[in-house]
Amino acid sequence: MVNNKVALITGASRGIGRGIALQLADMRYTIIINYNNDRASAEQVLKTVLGKKGNGICFNADISKNENIEKMFKFISQEYGRLDVLINNAGYAPIIETEKIDEKSWDHILSINLKSAFFCSNHAMFIMKKAGQGKIINIGSQAGITGGFHSAAHYAIAKGGINTLTKRLAMEGAPYNILVNCVSPGIIETDGVNAYPEEVVKDLVGKIPIGRIGTVSDVANVVSFLLTEKSNYLTGINIPVNGGIYMN
């Protein structure tokens, strides 16, 4: 299968981002693996991508800062001259009581989880509008729908913003054949969830009708579907991938 399409995945060095990168490698995308701190993990993802006969690079950028986003997209434009897919995956979900959230923590969490997606999408839309096509997939969270169970308040608020951002971008992108959707995972087996206290994990699993924690592949499979032609009449939707813990 020949595919000359280019995809940017933010926060792709581990967890859900890594899983999506491996799915896109199977689809023969050229993948830009964005990471912030963990270069070794990002390079391991790239090694696996190349082993699957995919193509790609690692790109270091702290996308909580717009100046770094601008540099990343300047590189993409100069190096590839196109961007077909943006996956806004970068995120961080701390556990902290609402009354203990200070201004610094608020700004940090909103920057990582919401501001980065907004500005990455702005830059991506600029490229995609010229091409007359593109797909943006935002990785949300059940916390953005339900308010969260054990998730921090500012994280849940940021992910709620992702839901609204998805709808707004879908409206703006539709005339240019740019489709924008959101995938909202529930409790997924990642480093973040594995770091939760055992009693928290037990409580969360008890709320899932299917009776198990989700896998990264559960999420990546839905993302890969949204990148196929079979999803080309879908835009502005939010797909919960949560084992039934929240039902529309």
User: What tens digit of pLDDT does each residue of 91-107 get?
Assistant: 998 889 999 999 999 99
User: Residue 246 domain-assigned?
Assistant: no
Give the range of the structural domain holding residue 109, as residue numbers without chain letter. 6-241
Report if residue 247 sits inside a domain.
no
pLDDT in tens, 159-201: 999 999 999 999 999 999 999 999 999 989 887 777 777 888 8
Q: Stretch 6-18: mean pLDDT, rounded?
A: 98
3-state secondary structure of 64: coil
Q: Which contiguous run of DSSP H or E holds residue 191?
A: helix 191-194
**If you average pLDDT over every residue of the chain, what do you get?**
95
Residue 123 domain-assigned (yes or no): yes
Give dist(CA 165, CA 5) in Å, integer.
24
Question: Is 149 inside a domain boundary?
Answer: yes
CATH assignment at residue 162? 3.40.50.720
Residue 113 lies in a domain: yes
231 part of a folded domain: yes
Q: Which two tokens stand for residue 142?
A: 């059940």
Q: Is residue 113 scored above 60 in pLDDT?
A: yes
In a domain, 1, yes or no: no
Whether residue 1 is predicted with pLDDT greater than 60 in this model: the reply is: no
Q: Are strands 85-88 and 238-241 parallel, antiparallel or unpaired?
A: unpaired
Residue 154 CA to residue 86 CA, distance in Å, equals 24
pLDDT tens across 127-155, in order?
999 999 999 999 999 989 989 877 899 99
Q: CA quadruple 173, 153, 140, 16: dihedral positive or negative? A: positive
Residue 248 in domain: no
**Which residues lie below 8 Å from residue 91, measured CB to CB, with a gap of 6+?**
11, 112, 113, 139, 141, 155, 159
Number of residues that make up the chain: 248
At residue 195, the pLDDT reads 73
- Determine the 3-state secondary structure of 201 from DSSP: helix
Catalytic residues: 155
Q: How far apart are CA 55 and CA 5, in angstroms?
A: 10
Give the total number of structural domains in the chain: 1
Interval 223-233: pLDDT, tens:
999 999 999 99
